[in-house]
């Protein structure tokens, strides 16, 4: 068995070592190497942002494992029919995502951002406490990450709503008390009832630019945006006018159309926008390798696996 690794922004050596150890522990004999153009046929590949050439050359792959939750860097390529695309189910990312969203939510809700600004000026003062029931949180996307974030937000007693492309029952997701909305027809009511909007959607042609003047303008007055999905969801030029007009109170953004965010971009210097460098949830190597090797073992035994992606739908 040949297994290839190709990861933009990943140091390959630790991944190769971890793969060899995990495969050996699972009793799987395999040659593990970094993919290079012209490499012999492989059985499996672990990739992040692979080039089209990898898919064109590696026509015998049984499965392609994406080293992250988002698969948009792969689904935009010409995808061979029959090749299984597998995303990570979690691998430690959902806890990180929940931490990030809770930090951004509480920082704004408790006005710690304002306290920080005042402390920098040597000002000592208090602000009137806000009521959680007045700050319903809407979560766009109820996949693995969205469900974990919803539970975490519920744990702090905020009202929570969820939106997904097709209707999902809160009880089936283990999210009692979460009001679920679905489809384009259900989006306006979801937005109108949300004070804080958290984007955790996959990036697909249908969700490209979903965060725009029209949709963000439907949030409750003084709304707040947290985007931890993909930069392509946000129409960036629409955000600052909504903030400067007072309709939005601000935003925390972890993802952008162009990354790294260009040095002259207005998001860097806007006082009501918090920027982080696509770090809300990083891929954890050991957890990811253990999950992938387990799935390879099940595929070799002819058993079903979780995390299969429909390349046409994009999730």
Nearest Cα to Cα of residue 36 among 24, 45, 28? 45
278 catalytic residue (yes or no): yes
Q: How far apart are CA 103 and CA 80, in angstroms?
A: 41
DSSP the chain: -EEEEEETT--HHHHHHHHHHHHHHTT---EEEE--TTPPP-SEEEEES--HHHHHH-TT-SEEEESSS--HHHHTSPPPTT-EEE--S-TTHHHHHHHHHHHHHHHHHTTHHHHHHHHHTT-----PPPPGGG--EEEE--SHHHHHHHHHHHTTT--EEEEESS---TTTTT-TTPEEEEHHHHHHHHHHT-SEEEE-----TTTTT-BSHHHHTTSPTTEEEEE-S-GGGB-HHHHHHHHHTTSEEEEEE---SSSSPPTT-GGGT-TTEEE--S-SSPPPHHHHHHHHHHHHHHHHTT---S-EE-TTTT-
| Identified catalytic residue from 6, 181, 230, 285 | 230
Per the DSSP assignment, residues forming a β-bridge with 44 are 3, 63
| Identified catalytic residue from 213, 265, 270, 278 | 278
Say if CB 223 and CB 216 are below 8 A apart: yes
Residues known to be catalytic: 230, 278
């Amino acid at each position: 068995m040949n297994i290839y690794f190709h990861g933009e922004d990943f140091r390959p050596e630790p991944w190769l070592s971890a793969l060899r150890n995990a495969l050996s522990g699972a009793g799987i004999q395999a040659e593990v190497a970094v993919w290079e153009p012209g490499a012999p046929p492989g059985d499996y590949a672990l990739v992040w942002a692979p080039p089209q050439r990898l898919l064109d050359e590696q026509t015998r792959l049984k499965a392609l494992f994406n080293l992250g939750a988002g698969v948009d860097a792969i689904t935009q390529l010409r995808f061979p029919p029959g090749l299984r695309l597998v995303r990570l189910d979690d691998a430690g990312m959902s806890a990180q995502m929940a931490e990030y969203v809770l930090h951004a939510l509480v920082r704004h809700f408790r006005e710690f951002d304002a306290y920080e600004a005042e402390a920098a000026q040597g000002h000592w003062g208090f602000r009137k406490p806000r009521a959680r029931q007045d700050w319903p949180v809407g979560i766009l996307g109820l996949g693995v990450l969205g469900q974990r974030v919803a539970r975490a937000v519920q744990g702090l007693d905020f009202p929570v709503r969820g939106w997904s492309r097709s209707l999902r029952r809160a009880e089936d997701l283990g999210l009692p008390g979460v009001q679920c909305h679905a489809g384009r027809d259900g989006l306006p009511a979801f937005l109108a009832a949300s004070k804080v909007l958290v984007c955790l959607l996959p990036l697909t042609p249908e969700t490209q630019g979903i965060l725009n003047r029209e949709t963000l303008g439907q949030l409750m007055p003084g709304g707040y945006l947290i985007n931890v999905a993909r930069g392509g969801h946000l129409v960036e030029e629409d955000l600052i006018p909504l903030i400067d007009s007072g309709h939005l109170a601000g935003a925390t953004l972890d993802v952008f159309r162009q990354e790294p965010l260009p040095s002259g971009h207005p998001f860097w210097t806007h006082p009501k926008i918090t920027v982080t460098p696509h770090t809300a949830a990083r891929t954890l190597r050991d957890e990811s390798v253990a999950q992938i090797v387990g799935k390879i073992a099940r595929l070799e035994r002819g058993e079903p696996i979780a995390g299969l992606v429909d390349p046409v739908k994009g999730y």
